């Protein structure tokens, strides 16, 4: 499939929570608008955490508490995870440990079925934190520790670049002597110059429709392009130029 025919619809949240708000509350209107009136049930993939049932129930409660009107079905409740993906009208992958999440997607042979549903059939995909990480080219820019080892760090490649969720700017007044988030991301782009990294601050998200991409939410982000090349991305910025890579073939 050519880039021009790509029908992907993505809502990639930096985080589920924003200080002072209930989970997902800060993005409630945009989540509702994104899924639209046609989506009644969302397939939830809880593999980023160990206890899938607990994570599912918490997500159902969080949605209900703020009035998100969706039936949330856990993929682990299905007899066949692959068939659940094939039948889903929408997919949501939540946060947790990105390495655990990606390993499960590989172990259960879900990478290609999810890509097909999103890139070819156009069902909406929402990710949060780790779920946003796996929507990108790789999980090389996750903040998590490698508590398990997936067969590859290559992810779903629903977008042709990487994202760093929970991005936080360096504090010029800190006495902490460890590396800043900027320094760690620069270490990556210094080696991989073909994949820029979009740092999304908490409370911000990337909305993708086909080849169009907008950074939304209250806090914006920062784009890392190469060694010491950085660009602040205010909320409302059109970053469709990042979508020029071929992700729909």
**What tens digit of pLDDT does each residue of 146-203 get?**
999 999 999 999 999 999 999 988 777 877 767 888 999 999 998 888 899 999 999 9
Q: What is the pLDDT of residues 62-111, one digit of tens each?
A: 999 999 999 999 999 999 999 999 999 999 999 999 999 999 999 999 99
- CATH number of the domain bearing residue 59: 3.40.50.880
185 in a domain, yes or no?
no
> What is the total count of domains within the chain?
1
Tell me how crowded residue 38 is: count the other CB atoms within 10 A of its CB: 8
Domain span holding position 134:
3-167+197-218+235-244
pTM: predicted TM-score of the whole model, two decimal places: 0.93
The sign of the CA dihedral 96, 102, 106, 107 is negative
230 in a domain, yes or no?
no
Place of tokens 């800190």: 174
Region at 210 (left for phi over 0; alpha for psi -120 to 50; beta for the rest)? left
Position 10 scores a pLDDT of 98
Q: Which residues are catalytic?
A: 129, 144, 166
């Amino acid at each position: 499939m050519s880039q021009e025919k790509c029908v992907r619809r993505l809502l990639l949240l930096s985080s589920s929570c924003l200080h002072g708000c209930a989970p997902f509350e800060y993005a409630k209107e945009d989540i509702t608008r994104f899924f639209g009136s046609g989506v009644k049930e969302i397939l939830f993939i809880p593999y980023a955490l160990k206890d899938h049932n607990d994570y599912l129930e918490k997500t159902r409660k969080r949605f209900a508490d703020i009035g998100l009107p969706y039936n949330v079905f856990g993929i682990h409740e299905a007899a066949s995870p692959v068939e659940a993906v094939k039948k889903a009208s929408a997919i949501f992958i939540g946060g947790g440990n990105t390495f655990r999440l990606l390993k499960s997607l590989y172990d259960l042979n879900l990478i290609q079925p999810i890509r097909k549903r999103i890139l070819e059939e156009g069902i909406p995909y929402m990710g949060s934190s780790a779920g946003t990480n796996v929507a990108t080219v790789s999980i090389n820019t996750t903040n998590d520790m490698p508590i398990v080892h997936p067969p590859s760090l290559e992810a779903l490649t629903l977008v042709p670049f990487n994202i760093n969720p929970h991005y936080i700017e360096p504090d010029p007044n800190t006495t902490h002597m460890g590396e800043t988030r900027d320094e760690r991301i620069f270490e990556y782009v210094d080696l991989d110059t073909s994949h820029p990294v979009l740092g999304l601050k908490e409370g911000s998200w990337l909305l993708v429709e086909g080849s169009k991409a907008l950074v939304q939410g209250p806090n914006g982000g920062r784009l890392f392009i190469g060694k010491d090349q950085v660009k602040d991305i205010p909320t409302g910025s059109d970053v469709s130029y990042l979508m020029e890579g071929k992700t729909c073939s």
